[in-house]
Amino acid sequence: MDCIPRTLSRGQTYDALSSQANITGYRAVVEASNEFGRFFAGQMTAAGKVAPAKVLVVGTGVAGLAAIQTAKNMGAIVRAFDVRPVTKEQVEAMGGQFLEVDYEEDGSGAGGYAKEMSKEWHAAAAKMLGKQCEEVDIVITTAAIPGRKAPLMITKEMVSKMKSGSVTVDLAAESGGNIGTTVKDEKFITDNGVKCLGYTDLASRLPTTSSSLYSNNISKFLLSMGPQTTKVKDYMYIDHEDDAVRGMLTVENGKLMWPAPLPPPPPPKKEAAEVAPVEIDYRAPYVVGAKQAGYLGASVLGMGCIAPDPAFSAMFTTFALSNIIGVQVVLGVTHALHSPLMAVTNAISGTTALGGMHLVAHSESAGVTTLGALATTLSTVNIVGGFIVTKKMLDMFKRPDDPPEYYHLYGIPAAGTMAFYTAGSMSGHVPEIDSAAGTLAGLLCIGGIGGLSSQSTARLGAASGQAGVALAVASTL
């Protein structure tokens, strides 16, 4: 079963090494906790404070990750180290702290295992691990290289620096061990009181689980060769193209099939044609920008040359500034609120009703008066409908647990402003108050659109837009 490639995606179901290593990592923590003289989780009681245990896991393969998860679930502070930097995310996802060596070298090897590292890397790693051994209470090592003696990661000198009562568990004891004080299949206590476990039967200490998972590995493998794949009842099909089957096939019809042929080497990479470096013209964008600035200046001054009277110039100034302000405000609206934005702008654009009201008031033609009345009516529908749709859309973002909102209180200053303006306008002593009311209405409408820049101010923006349109209508009347 251990001949099935571990890197084969569907072969993970048949991977007996992984299923047993998972049990071994879990059991290593259980054995360590049995030998350790304190809680794993920290406690604060009336009788005193107990600090949490610190666990160092060396090697973050299947067994290492299982040990990290188990120790973390028991409340320990877990640190982990591996020669493969790609395992950092897995360690941190389980709540562990990944330790790194101050030396750049990748230890990722074939088949998901680690490769042998350089002497320089080992020197830097030894320095880091030596410091960690002085701090931690439990060390669990799982580092292994297929077909080679297990690398020595924790020396006797490092163990001698550990606190009395500390525990080491060496899961690589069968292949020589990662810890210098490991004795295969025995518990050894050092002179400074460190308990060193070198058991090689940890999976067998959970017989029910290990037998269940291993039998599942075998049954799933055999079933993949039978009716599930061939669709023929009672027919066992040995597919030589199946990497999982071919990897463990020994004899077929009296013919020796071992070992499986090596996979063909990857095709040689085609040498890419040399691409001539593209010369970047850093001056070009500035030239384009200067031209656009020149066109803008000439256009604005040209409008001044053809303006027939001061009223046109004032209107052109308002038009230009409103375009710039409108673009900047709309660009600030968040994407999630684009639909409410369309409804609000639709309502505000309904202020075309003001032009219809002017036509109805000052026109001497029945046709023009009719068109003005029709424009006023349709624009009013646009205003009312736009704000109603905006409210309904914003209500869709509201959650049941959101705090209550009191935006209706903004109606008080709105009503006060309207009363102030009405009194001033009717008194006849402040003729410029109409212009100020128009300016305030414009600011409130711009604020209505700007409020949609975030969900926290969207409803306030809707209220601002309603007040602006109301004030504009009152000013026009």
Our answer to whether residue 292 is catalytic in this structure is no
CB 445 within 8 A of CB 350: no
Would you list the DSSP string of 233-268? Answer: TT-----TT-HHHHHH--EETTEE-PSPPPPPPPPP
Could you identify the residue written with the tokens 């051994």? 133
Tokens of 67: 């040990």
Record the tokens describing residue 429, joined without a space: 């002593």
Residue that has been written with the tokens 């036509």 in this structure: 359
* CA 452, chain centre distance (Å): 26
| Reduced DSSP (H G I as helix, E B as strand, rest coil) percent helix, strand, coil of the chain, to 5 | 55, 10, 35
Respond yes or no: is residue 6 known to be catalytic.
yes
**Residue bearing the bigger pLDDT, 394 or 199:** 199
Residue 429 confidence (pLDDT) above 70: yes
Instruction: Name the pLDDT band for 98 (thresholds 50, 70, 90).
Output: very high
Residue in this structure with the two tokens 């004891």, named with its chain if needed = 173
Residues 6+ apart with CB under 8 A from 269: none
Structure-block tokens of residue 296: 């803008």
Would the pLDDT of 110 be above 60?
A: no
Annotation marks residue 399 as catalytic: no
Please choose, from the candidates 361, 384, 338, 343, the residue with its C-alpha nearest in 3D space to the C-alpha of residue 477: 361
Q: According to the 3-state scheme, what is the secondary structure of 181-237?
A: CCCCCCEEECCCCCEEECCCCCHHHCHHHHHHHHHHHHHHHHHHHCHHHHCCCCCCC
113 catalytic per annotation: yes
Q: Of 151, 133, 59, which Cα lies nearest the Cα of 96? A: 59
User: What pLDDT sits at residue 447?
Assistant: 87
| Alpha-carbon gap, residue 105 to 116, rounded angstroms | 11
Closest CA to 113 of 5, 14, 29: 5
- Per-residue pLDDT tens digits for 278-332: 888 889 989 998 999 999 889 988 988 898 988 898 899 988 888 888 888 888 8
Q: Active site includes 286?
A: no
Which residues belong to CATH 3.40.50.720 in the chain?
10-207
Task: Determine the average pLDDT of the residues in 426-447.
Answer: 87
Catalytic residue among 113, 137, 379, 466: 113
10-207 is classed CATH 3.40.50.720: yes
Average pLDDT, the chain: 87
Examine residue 310 and say whether the peptide bond preceding it is cis (omega within 30 degrees of 0): no
Q: How far is CA 38 from each of CA 53, 57, 152, 393, 441, rounded to the nearest angstrom?
A: 8, 18, 28, 58, 72
| Residues 354, 438: Cα–Cα separation, whole Å | 11
Considering the chain, what percentage of its residues have pLDDT values greater than 90? 38
pLDDT per residue as tens digits for the range 42-97 = 888 888 899 999 999 999 999 999 999 999 999 999 999 998 888 999 999 999 99
pLDDT tens-place string over residues 207-240 = 999 999 999 999 988 887 765 556 677 777 788 8
Give residue 104's pLDDT band: very low, low, confident or very high (50, 70, 90). confident
Residue 114, pLDDT score: 53
Let me know: does 50 contact 39? Beta carbons within 8 Å.
yes
Q: pLDDT band for position 245 (50/70/90)?
A: confident
